[in-house]
Structure 1
Amino acid sequence: MEQVIEFFNKLFSAEDWPARWVCGEWSSFHGWLYITSDIAIWLAYFVIPAIIIFFIQKRHNLPFLPVFWLFGAFIILCGSTHLIDAIMFYWPGYRLSALLRALTAIVSLATAFVLIRDLPKLIETKPEDKLKTYQLEKQVKQYEAEIEALKQKLHNQEG
């Protein structure tokens, strides 16, 4: 228990380790490749949940909503581990990294469990009638616009 208390008391302390740049034989190319790749992965891992949230807000009555939120949390936490890996080249926050990884593991397992549990229900789910209606309405509007364009073209040719 003493180690757990010490861990959280020193969560943001980096005094016990050197920065990653001074550990080993990093060339500038290798180090910057590592850093920029991790930052790019982190960026993608934050954009993807934003898209999921946008989708959830636009689509009402979405079935299996908790699965979407778990995916979002899973992706954000995965991205956070990449961000902290890039930061550790300058600030060796290994305790924070360990905590992020533990949280990522918990949410990852929870997401996998929920997917396994809900997969049979997801497979059985049929497309909603509203979605079909929306698609048909969209097609009708498209056809109406095309008909109007043709009428306008005929009118211009007659005049």
Structure 2
Amino acid sequence: MEQVIDFLSKLFSADDWPPRWVCGEWSAFHGWLYIFSDIAIWLAYFVIPAIIIFFIQKRQNIPFLPVFWLFGAFIILCGSTHLMDALMFWWPGYRLSAVLRLLTALVSLATAFALIRDLPKLITERPDDELKTYQLEKKLKSYELEIQDLRKQLNSKSD
């Protein structure tokens, strides 16, 4: 328990490690390639949830909404680990990185379990458009039968 308390008390301290630039022999090209790649991945991981949130706000009655939120949290946390990796070239916040990775792991597992739990329902769920089409087709058949009955009545009266 002492290690946990020590870990948490130094969560934002980077005094125990050197920045990544001075660990090993990074060429400028290799270091900046790593940094730019991680920042690009982080940016994509933050744009994707923004698109998901936009989608959720534009659609009504989205089934399995909690799964969308889990995906958003999962993607944001994945992106945060990449941002941390880029920052470590200057600020070696390995403790904070470890906490972000733990949160990412927990949310990833929760997302996977939610998908496994909901997959049978997702497979059998009819999209709203398909359900509306089915209901309209059912009404149309009902109207066609009613028209046929009316024609029979008309034909029997004219005879």
TM-score range, shorter chain: 0.7 to 0.9
Look up the equivalent residue of 1:62 and give its one-letter code: I
1:23-102 map, 5 Å: 23-102=23-102
Distance 2:20 2:114 in 1: 37
The residue aligned with 1:115 is 115
Measured after TM superposition, the shift of residue 130 of structure 1 is 8.1
Deviation track 1:108-136 (CA, whole Å, cap 9, x = no partner) reads 00000000010000000111148867xxx
Quickly say closer, same or farther: Cα 1:16–1:126, change in 2 above 3 A. same
Q: Distance in 2 between matches of 1:130 and 1:61?
A: 14
**Alignment of 1:106 onto 2:106:** yes
Q: How many residues align?
A: 133
Tell me the distance in 2 between the aligned counterparts of 1:109 and 1:90. Answer: 31
Unaligned runs of 5+ in 2: 134-159
TM-score by length of 1: 0.81
Tell me what 1:3 maps to: 3
Give the whole-Å Cα distance in 2 for the aligned partners of 1:132 and 1:25.
Answer: 63
**In the aligned structure 2, how far is the partner of 1:86 from the partner of 1:19?**
11
Q: Distance in 1 between matches of 2:108 and 2:6?
A: 26
Partner of 2:146: none
| Larger Rg belongs to | 2
Deviation at 1:23, TM superposition (A): 0.2
Aligned-partner Cα distance in 2 for 1:125–1:30: 48
Identity score, percent: 84
Runs of 4+ in 1 over 6 A off after TM superposition: none
| Distance in 2 separating the partners of 1:93 and 1:117 | 36
Name the Cα RMSD after superposition: 1.3
TM-score, scaled to structure 2? 0.81
